[in-house]
Structure 1
Amino acid sequence: MRLTVLIDIVALGLCLVVFSRAGDVSHYIAAVYEHNFKISLICSLFTCGRKGALQHMHENLDVYEEQVAEAAKQGAQIIVFPEDGIHGFRFTRHSITGYLETIPDPKEVSWSPCLEPERFPNTEILHRLSCMAQRNSIYLVANMPDRQDCAGADPQCPTDGRRHYNTDVVFSDNGTLVARYHKQNLYKEKEFDVPPEIEYVTFNTPFAGKFAIFTCFDILFREPAITLLEKHQVKQVVFPTAWINKLPLLSAVQFQQAFATAWGINLLAANIHLPRFKMTGSGIFTPTNSTFHYDIETSKGRLLVSKVPVPPPVQDDPSTASQSPQSPLTQNPECSRISTAILEPPAVFHANMMNDNFTFTLLTGKKGELSVCNGHLCCYLTYQQSNTNGELYAIGAFNGLHKGHRQSFLEVCALVRCAGDSQDTCGADISQASTTFDFCLQGNFSTPYVYPSILASGVDLVIPDGVGWTSGSFLMSKEGMSKGLVTAALYGRVYDKDKV
């Protein structure tokens, strides 16, 4: 009898421990860390060898150790670290060699580096990351450089006989390597190679189901990001990034939130923190809420921990996959007093915004209704503003190939604060404003892939009141802003017209 009672008490205690760790099954706790990266200019510019590279990487991993422990202390079940956070950037193909580790494919090899550190040679960083995950019972996502030998019959193998990849790794809460992803869309990364085949990488967790993973510049292109969301019906993404903020349309947190809103997903985004390079902006984004960090003034890293809703299960069936973004904010969107007909032709002008030639028209009163067109794209605005303080605003439209590092086809409607008091400053980089707006912005987009964002003064994010399709146009509305408006944008992507 006593033994039975003792067993029941022990079993109850174990149940309580498990429940306290799992928490509310409708939510889980996620963490992202914006890392103030420790740079080694000597290793970036010159080959410092394996010993020097390890010393440099362990300096950054010392910070990771602290943050993983703190996140676990706050109940986090998964933590995401940024792109380049362990090794850095601005390498040559030669200078990065000391940083490379050969990462096995977890689809082919089941391996915990913490438990089997000698199974594969020269894997000290994998070993340390694995032990962090195991010691703290947490899923861990990190970015590091990978070397894969390719000599032999491979006709595309580089002349040095190896491929270098910008690589994300995922460890389970027992330290097992469960996912490896090689970045597809490189951004001025001459030290790395593009994978010969596009990789669609997902992993499963016991607390929240399936996640997808891709890196930084990948989020702006169809492959692999959009295919993962459409054909694999992924509703959660981990996103290591080293994002340089580009105002007024592509601030890191601005597009991260826009992407989560448009697709109705959870996005766990971790950025590097290097203000002198305009690199900051991380967050835990859900379709209707955001916990984010943006700090261009200080050199401090930042840990974010937040409760995240577990999305309802979906069938991994390509035949039933959605063919376009599906935001939960799309119910009954409407714009009062807005017309889809061309309004009175405005006085238009052209100005450069983020290297593209936008067609603009100025807002000339405290309230009104305007339209502006660029090619077949026409943008419409109904607005009422207050606290103007003489600030100049314009509505702009662009329809064409973006002249950036990669030529991507855009359709954009944007309401922006001009940087000065003349029209040639419209579209310039600015982050402060005092004019508040009630507005409705819409456009006759030809693409279903439209990413809505509202950016307030100080690069503060604002959730739209309504966003979605109505009568063949995509719209976004907001009333009662408490801070000045910097940008309201509908950023459309026509992936099929990208120029490779």
Structure 2
Amino acid sequence: QGVQIIVFPEDGIHGFNYSRESIYHFLETIPDPRSVKWNPCLEPQAFNNTEVLQRLSCMAKEGRMYLVANMPDKQPCNSDPHCPSDGRYQFNTDVVFSDDGTLVARYHKQNLFFEFEFDTPREVEHVVFDTPFAGKFGVFTCFDLLFYEPAVSLIEKHAVQQIVFPSAWMNTLPLLTAIQSQRAFATAFNINFLAANLHHPILRMTGSGIYSPSKSVYYHNEENEEGKLLVAELPISPTKPQTDQAKFMSDNYTITPLTELMGNLQVCYKSLCCYLTYELAAAHKEQYALVVFDGPHKVKGKYYIQVCALIKCAGPGLDTCGVAVREATSIIDFKLWGNFSAKHIFPEILASKMTLDLPDSIGWENNTTYHMSKKGMTSGLITAGLYGRWYEKD
């Protein structure tokens, strides 16, 4: 499929729930590629007991792609005063191979999550590797995502725009599901983020994705035991979603267009942020946009509104998105929500030729966000809106 880099999940090779002793037979001594140039597929005898490294190297070479995987590593340390009593460090480790099978990067996970079989590195590692197709990539693992070191520091100090992220992430509602956290990180730092999560629904480990600030391809299935291969094309230099201003009923809304057949969008106005997850039918040719407004409406009376809406534009340009339309053919499945301060929210779905459609679900989530979702519309979408009235600010 023309893939240039592939990422495998954390713990995918060896599993988990080991003691320090029971994981021993899965450990391989992984040399530091900064000091040793080694192609395990072509030089299998250079280091003993490296069957997994050899297999991964040959996979990268035969597939002609960069390969990122996670495996356990052991490093002898008898001369180190901090060395464990068994004479070795054991690390949760990411390895990266170039498209000719050469080991080009090794990263030891810094922030362990109840992984008593492994040691925490005494020094934080910022691991970066270069590629001919997208420049520099950074790498870190799972629980690292929630800490300044190494995740944020790596991006800030090395100007990395691409991250590879093996993980075995346990979904934790309402704020820390895998796809939620992955997407948020890509958006916050304006980067491309390639996240491979272990698929183990019984342990709430589901959700992988390929993200840029304006595009998401992800898979989250808590019911099916089978995993899924995700393939996507990303821009080398990620850009933030395009936003503009458009006038609606004399108010200046902030607006961002839907540019893909499926994805996630976020757009904010003052303290109100609106979010959209959507999927369009493949045959659509119409332009849609996510719009937001938070302020007083001053025409024919003054009253305060907060609005999140998915709207059809009159033409291909954003300057047409405030123009009234009455017909549409595009069928869109969506979930729309926002962090409203207004307590009275009016959900509405207007379909083609001035017909109405019912949402599948509406309501407050954790008293912080109001949502509306719909699948299987009966006709093309004109507007799906959450119209909030903040009566106290009139």
- TM-score, structure 1 normalization: 0.53
| Corresponding position of 1:262 | 188
Letter in 2 for 1:305: V
Determine which of 369, 373, 376 is the counterpart of 1:415: 369
Determine which of 393, 397, 405 is the counterpart of 2:364: 393
User: Which one has a larger percent strand, Structure 1 or Structure 2?
Assistant: 2
CA separation of 1:369 and 1:301: change in aligned 2, threshold 3 A = closer
8 Å CA contact retained: 1:338, 1:382: no
Determine which of 333, 337, 342 is the counterpart of 2:294: 337
1:337 shift after superposition: 3.5
| Corresponding position of 2:139 | 213
User: Which one has a larger percent helix, Structure 1 or Structure 2?
Assistant: 1
CA separation of 1:76 and 1:370: change in aligned 2, threshold 3 A = closer
| Corresponding position of 1:451 | none
- Structure 1 residue 77 corresponds to structure 2 residue 31: no
- Mapped to 1, the partners of 2:385 and 2:162 lie a distance apart of 29
8 Å CA contact retained: 1:111, 1:177: yes
SS in 1 for 2:14: coil
CA separation of 1:368 and 1:277: change in aligned 2, threshold 3 A = closer
- Structure 1 residue 309 corresponds to structure 2 residue 235: yes
Letter in 2 for 1:393: W
Letter in 2 for 1:265: I
Letter in 2 for 1:163: Y
- Structure 1 residue 480 corresponds to structure 2 residue 384: yes
| Corresponding position of 1:233 | 159
Determine which of 37, 45, 49 is the counterpart of 1:110: 37
| Corresponding position of 1:201 | 127
Letter in 1 for 2:129: F
CA separation of 1:242 and 1:390: change in aligned 2, threshold 3 A = closer
CA separation of 1:99 and 1:382: change in aligned 2, threshold 3 A = farther
- Identify the structure with bigger relative contact order (alpha carbons < 8 Å, sequence gap 6+): 1
| Corresponding position of 2:73 | 146
SS in 1 for 2:28: coil
CA separation of 1:388 and 1:207: change in aligned 2, threshold 3 A = closer
The 5 A counterparts of 1:419-498 are 435-436=372-373, 480=384
CA separation of 1:108 and 1:257: change in aligned 2, threshold 3 A = same
- Mapped to 1, the partners of 2:362 and 2:95 lie a distance apart of 47
- Structure 1 residue 161 corresponds to structure 2 residue 161: no
- Mapped to 2, the partners of 1:278 and 1:369 lie a distance apart of 26
- Mapped to 1, the partners of 2:224 and 2:31 lie a distance apart of 38
1:210 shift after superposition: 0.6
- Mapped to 2, the partners of 1:393 and 1:280 lie a distance apart of 25
Structure 2: gaps spanning 5 or more residues: 245-253, 255-267, 271-292, 297-336, 349-357, 376-382, 387-394
SS in 2 for 1:159: coil
SS in 2 for 1:337: strand
8 Å CA contact retained: 1:337, 1:382: no
- Structure 1 residue 253 corresponds to structure 2 residue 176: no
- Structure 1 residue 285 corresponds to structure 2 residue 211: yes
1:384 shift after superposition: 3.7
1:262 shift after superposition: 1.3
Deviation sequence 1:226-282 (CA, Å, 0-9, x none): 001111111100000001111221111111111111111100000111111111100
1:382 shift after superposition: 8.2
SS in 2 for 1:166: strand
8 Å CA contact retained: 2:269, 2:294: no
Letter in 2 for 1:104: P
Deviation sequence 1:159-202 (CA, Å, 0-9, x none): 11111100000000000000000000000100001001000000
Letter in 1 for 2:199: H
- Identity percentage of aligned residues: 55
Determine which of 152, 170, 179 is the counterpart of 1:244: 170
Letter in 2 for 1:219: L
- Mapped to 2, the partners of 1:211 and 1:195 lie a distance apart of 21
- Mapped to 2, the partners of 1:368 and 1:222 lie a distance apart of 27
CA separation of 1:481 and 1:195: change in aligned 2, threshold 3 A = farther
| Corresponding position of 1:6 | none
| Corresponding position of 2:325 | none
Structure 1: gaps spanning 5 or more residues: 1-73, 313-325, 340-366, 372-379, 397-413, 418-434, 437-455, 458-478, 483-500
8 Å CA contact retained: 2:362, 2:370: no
Deviation sequence 1:9-28 (CA, Å, 0-9, x none): xxxxxxxxxxxxxxxxxxxx
CA separation of 1:297 and 1:289: change in aligned 2, threshold 3 A = same
1:368 shift after superposition: 12
- TM-score, structure 2 normalization: 0.67
Q: Which moved more, 1:330-339 or 1:231-240?
A: 330-339
SS in 2 for 1:303: coil
Letter in 2 for 1:337: D
8 Å CA contact retained: 1:369, 1:382: no
1:225 shift after superposition: 0.5
| Corresponding position of 2:13 | 86
| Corresponding position of 1:127 | 54
Letter in 1 for 2:212: T
CA separation of 1:415 and 1:134: change in aligned 2, threshold 3 A = same
1:155 shift after superposition: 2.2
What value does the CA root-mean-square deviation take over the aligned residues?
Answer: 2.8
CA separation of 1:91 and 1:309: change in aligned 2, threshold 3 A = same
Determine which of 11, 17, 27 is the counterpart of 1:100: 27
- Mapped to 1, the partners of 2:11 and 2:339 lie a distance apart of 46
SS in 2 for 1:132: helix
